[in-house]
Structure 1
Amino acid sequence: MVVNNMIVSMVAHANQSSMNIYHVGSSSTNPVVLRNIQDYGVRYFAKNPWINNDGKPVIVGNIKMMSNMDSFHRYMTIRYLLPLKGLQIVNAALCQYFRGTYHDLRRKINFAFRLIELYRPYMFFKGIFDDKNAENLRKAVAESGIETDVFYFDPNCINWEDYFMNTHLPGLVKYVFK
């Protein structure tokens, strides 16, 4: 879709010096909704369990959604980092008796922080992209007789559920969750 939009816009503006911005994807026309992404993740991993290092499936459920990064850090500190610090102290007092447990929990918490940093720009973003220029370009292409089925870039055809369930999440599992 993006490439089709680029090709059509280059042809449409070949002899012009003006610059237009065309947005294709999640926009005011067909926005992807964060709570739906959460639902897709829960459903995907319930159907296709991710197996941890111990060979056990990771149990998934709805996650607590934070409104900003400060609330996330506050939640993680109270819920996970302070108990982990307590475990570290107890572990030191007991001659590293809980060493494996401590390292496993620390690894999982660090993994959660890496995921949050990866998705941070998207998690708390409140904007909606205006795709009026792309819509006007689509209309102009349709009126001009250009083969619209060859250069199709209408975001209404994006099935976000299909994309997340069959492309994005399987890709995450294959290339990120190593």
Structure 2
Amino acid sequence: MGEILLGQYKGELPIVIIRPTMVTSTFQDPFPGWIEGTRTIDALIVAYDEQALPCFLGDRNDIIDLIPADMVINAALVAMAVHWNGKLQVIYHVSSPCQNPLSVNDFVDSCFDYFSISPRILNGRVLQTRRPYLFKRYAFFRVCLMIIFSLPLMILEGFNLLLCGCFSRYCNDLNRRYNFFTLLVKLYAPYPFSKGRFDDSNLTWLRMETKICNVDGGNLNFDPKQISWHSYLISVHVPAVLKYAHMKKGTTLRRTSYSYSQ
């Protein structure tokens, strides 16, 4: 609706509309991994880190549409430089699937690799990392949810009632994990099976126009083809998300770090 209003009232002004997809931490500028706030896919990374994501909805062959924040900003800056004296309304989808797709399977594998080489430490004990199981059908997912959370919680609450609250702490902890998990499902359930792709042909044209017209975009990188998703996720984005999440909670992030070679 905002874009429609801009088109109606822009007059002679040029309009450039930037539509980013799921924005992640920076790829290069001002430094790799700059982030303010955990959003979109980051909540799943935090849940994975806390081993609160035993299963989820999705198809491993589906594509996740991520784009680093600095590429969004760079695309906007270059677009302004190219269109500042025009009269058209131009729309740019700043996304990655058409140029450099990231599958759900690659995302899960990258997270698993990170947590395997840098596992959490709790009370001096290294916590084991488990892969979440992905369900393609919602009915099967609901059954798994009942077995993992609902039934144990009902049994524990029954024992807690009989034993005068001896298991209250465990009940509260399991209930908290269950509520957090159901919140994630409500937020993300509509998206795992989406087959839509944003057409980034305008952005491809912008990169070519930058080279042809010699617009100073040499240091303003917004080409998703340059991203090695596995390396970016385990070396940049996942540690940045966890660092910010633990800083927000006021906790210290303790990990056992091992050397990694791609």
Q: TM-score range by the shorter chain?
A: 0.7 to 0.9
Q: Say which structure is richer in strand.
A: 2
Match of 2:179 in 1: 110
Q: 2:108 aligns with which of 38, 52, 56?
A: 38
Q: TM-score, normalised by structure 1?
A: 0.82
Of stretches 85-94 and 143-152 in structure 1, the one that deviates more from structure 2 is 143-152
Question: What letter corresponds to residue 91 of structure 1 in structure 2?
Answer: N
Matched AA of 2:171: Y
2:94 aligned with 1:21: no
Greater shift in the superposed pair: 159-168 or 113-122 = 113-122
What TM-score, normalized by structure 2, do the two folds share?
Answer: 0.59
- What residue is the counterpart of 2:161 in the other structure? 92
Higher relative contact order (CA 8 A, sep 6+): 1
**How far apart are residue 117 of structure 1 and its match?**
5.2
SS at match of 1:61: coil
Q: Which residue, 170, 177, 183 being the options, matches 1:101?
A: 170
Give 1:77's aligned residue: 146
Which structure has more helix as a fraction of its residues? 1
One of 141, 151, 156 as aligned partner of 2:210? 141
Deviations 1:64-83 (A, max 9, x none): 11336665444312332122
2:53 maps to none
User: Secondary structure, in 3 states, of the residue corresponding to 1:22?
Assistant: strand
CA distances 1:127-173 after superposition (whole Å, capped 9, x unpaired): 22221110011111111123442233211011211221122211232
For residues 38 and 111 of structure 1, do their structure 2 counterparts lie closer, same or farther at Cα, with a shift above 3 Å needed? same
1:50 alignment partner in structure 2 = 120
The one-letter amino acid of 1:171's match is A
CA RMSD of aligned residues (A): 2.6
> Higher mean Cα deviation, 105-114 or 152-161?
105-114
Q: Could you tell which deviates more after superposition, 63-72 or 89-98? A: 63-72
2:79 alignment partner AA: S
Distance 2:75 2:87 in 1: 18
Q: Which residue of 2 aligns with 1:176?
A: 245
